[in-house]
């Protein structure tokens, strides 16, 4: 129901989608960088005229009673724009390539009490090192849907509520949940998709 989901998201957003084509490399530290394991991700945006690079570090999920009471995953994330020779720099520091993937799909941006981004993408693996043109789907026919929003230590509960509220708009087609808690497609998704496709998307909400 990807096409129907795109129609629904465009109706909610009011603007066209942004194409997504991200080459992602996961690097892990070597033995000369301390005893603790460290992982960084290098992301190359291939949709840009001049591919741009970002380095991202994702921390562990928030734990405790507060985390259990909210319906979204909260974790720290640090991102920085970097130059195109960043991979060589991390190799020099002692990091090694663990795996790489190519994410292809589209995204929409929303302002609904928080700066919400919805991405719909397929995950592809490379048959040869860095050969993005030869990437093949890891799970053919299956798309990953993510709803994310930046937050601070002071407002993460409000942002979590905004994300949860927004996800309810997608309930005709799918239910979203924390990673590791499977909910999947709702039973009425086929009928909802057929309705969206037949009337060209209906009236934006």
pLDDT, tens digit, for every residue of 53-62?
999 998 887 8
Tens place of pLDDT per residue across the chain (205 aa): 899 999 999 998 888 899 999 999 999 986 665 656 778 999 999 999 888 999 999 888 788 877 777 878 888 899 999 999 999 999 998 899 999 999 999 999 999 889 999 999 999 999 999 999 999 999 898 899 999 999 988 898 899 999 999 988 898 888 888 776 666 677 777 888 888 788 655 544 4
pLDDT, tens digit, for every residue of 73-84?
888 899 999 999
Pairwise CA distance, residues 138 & 102, whole Å? 10
pTM, 2 dp: 0.84
Query: DSSP character for 36?
Result: S
Pairwise CA distance, residues 149 & 75, whole Å? 11
Pairwise CA distance, residues 11 & 199, whole Å? 12
Domains in the chain, please, with CATH? 1-177 (2.40.320.10)
The percent of the chain in helix, strand and coil, each rounded to the nearest 5, is 25, 35, 40
Q: What angle, 0 to 180 degrees and rounded to 10, lies between the N-to-C axes of helices 2-13 and 189-198? A: 60
Residues contacting residue 79 through CB under 8 Å, at least 6 positions apart: 54, 55, 56, 57
């Amino acid at each position: 129901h990807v096409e129907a989901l795109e129609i629904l998201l465009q109706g909610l957003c009011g603007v066209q989608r942004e194409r997504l084509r991200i080459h992602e490399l996961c690097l892990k530290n070597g033995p000369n960088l301390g005893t603790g394991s460290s992982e960084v991700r290098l992301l190359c945006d291939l949709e840009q005229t001049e591919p741009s690079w970002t380095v991202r570090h994702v921390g562990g999920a928030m734990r405790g009673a507060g985390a259990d009471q909210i319906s979204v995953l909260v974790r720290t994330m640090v991102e920085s724009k970097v130059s195109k020779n960043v991979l060589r720099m991390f190799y020099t520091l002692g990091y090694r390539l663990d795996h790489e993937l190519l994410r292809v799909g589209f995204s929409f941006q929303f302002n609904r009490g928080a700066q919400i981004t919805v991405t719909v993408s397929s995950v592809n693996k490379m048959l040869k090192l860095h050969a993005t043109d030869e990437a093949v789907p890891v799970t053919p026919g299956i798309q990953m849907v993510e709803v994310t929003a930046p937050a601070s230590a002071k407002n993460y509960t409000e942002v979590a509520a905004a994300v949860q509220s927004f996800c309810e708009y997608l309930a005709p087609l799918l239910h979203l949940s924390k990673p590791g808690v499977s909910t999947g497609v709702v039973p009425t998704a086929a009928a909802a998709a057929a309705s969206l496709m037949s009337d060209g998307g209906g009236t934006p909400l």
